Amino acid sequence: MIDFEPKSGPFAHTSNSSNRIMYTVVLTLLPAALMGVYQFGIASLQTLVVCCVVAIIAEYICLKLLGRATSACLDGSALLTGLLLAMSLPATVPMWLAALGSVFAIVVGKQIYGGLGQNLFNPAMLARVMLLICFPVEMTTWAVPTPIDFSGNQVTVPSAWLHFDGVTAATSLSGLQYEPVSLAAQFFGSIGGSLGETSALLILLGGLVLLYRRIIHWAIPVSFIAGLCLPAALASLIAPDSFSSPLTQLLSGGAMLGAFYIATDLVTSPTSVRGQLIYGGLCGLLIWLIRSFGNYPEGVAFAVLMVNAASPLIDHYLRPTIFGSKSVVEKS
């Protein structure tokens, strides 16, 4: 029997599925992650593995308890959450802390809202903020990058590229107040910090692949970078001794990771292009404000979470026009 019941539409067909999108994003992040392993050694590989494996296990347990298909734990979303969390952590963070963050990201950041596609906040950034507030010492202990030579020796990084603080190294952001950090070091990742700070170049290349594959839209990365760099350029022109340059802001910390991988999360970002432009610009502006005037040298996670909360409101007022209608909002 033919069903003639009208359906909503029109429908846009694509070869992309949620699984394919998740695994494509993971693959584009792997070069930067492997660069982090090269820079910081086996300890950073353990952080990556623990975050990813525990995230998948936590997803499996949640799905089992909720009576849902447990095969969904392998759809790539839990793996991506664990990978993004690992990229935002210090390279040599204690393994128990990495595991705790992954469980929190999946249970509180994702499954408590109903699972994939229902979460209001980016799970990885929610977990990072929780860890930073609860364990500030462990979360701000940055290992000195000592790249592994394949002969088994450690390569010494030029001291001009680093700011040392005891036996650990500060990130490039916290080091700015002590001495200039080479832009080349920030671009290629020869600095202390998280795995997501290992190479702005590799993160940029991965982001360009996502743009080329149309997995993310240009509006968020472009407005994100503009929102961060424009106030930084103005402030550095007015008071160059007090504010860092736009390039330093962009290449430091997790800004590049935030622009291409975190703020562009399909679930927590607006759907319209206008909404995405406002969303990305707010992210960038808040990061600059937190870095310049806040108590934390980095602000990507805090900024993204705050704008995540505003995303439904942005969507409400700037949602796309329904096909065939004259007005976005129906008049009562």
What is the DSSP track for 58-95? Answer: HHHHHHHHTT--GGGGGSSHHHHHHHHHHHHSBTT--H
pLDDT attached to residue 196:
77
Going by pLDDT thresholds of 50, 70 and 90, the confidence category of residue 180 is low
Higher pLDDT, 2 or 262: 262
In angstroms, the CA 105 to CA 262 distance is 14
Give the three-state DSSP class for 192.
strand
More confident residue, 187 or 268: 268
Q: Give the angle 131-298-128 at the CA atoms, nearest 5°.
A: 20
Which residues are paired to 169 by β-bridges?
164
What is the DSSP code string of 170-187? -BHHHHTTTS---HHHHH
Whether residue 7 is predicted with pLDDT greater than 60 in this model: the reply is no
Average the pLDDT over 175-193 and give the result.
62
Q: Is the whole model's pTM more than 0.85, yes or no? A: no
- Specify the amino acid at residue 78: A
The Cα 312–Cα 302 span in angstroms is 17
Residue 168: phi and psi, rounded to 5, are -120, 165
| 295 pLDDT more than 90 | no
Compute the distance between CA of residue 305 and CA of residue 125 in angstroms, rounded to an integer. 7
Token output for 148: 């592994």
25 or 2: whose pLDDT is higher?
25
Q: H or E element: which one contains 282?
A: helix 273-293
Report the largest interatomic distance among the alpha carbons of the chain, rounded to a whole angstrom.
76
Q: Positive or negative CA dihedral for 85, 154, 178, 172?
A: negative
What's the mean pLDDT in 117-140?
92
Q: Is the pLDDT of residue 169 over 70?
A: no
Alpha-carbon distance of 283 to 118, in angstroms, equals: 21
Q: What is the mean pLDDT of residues 5-28?
A: 73
- The Cα 330–Cα 332 span in angstroms is 6
pLDDT of 134-161, one tens digit each? 999 888 887 777 766 655 444 444 433 3
Mean pLDDT of the chain: 83
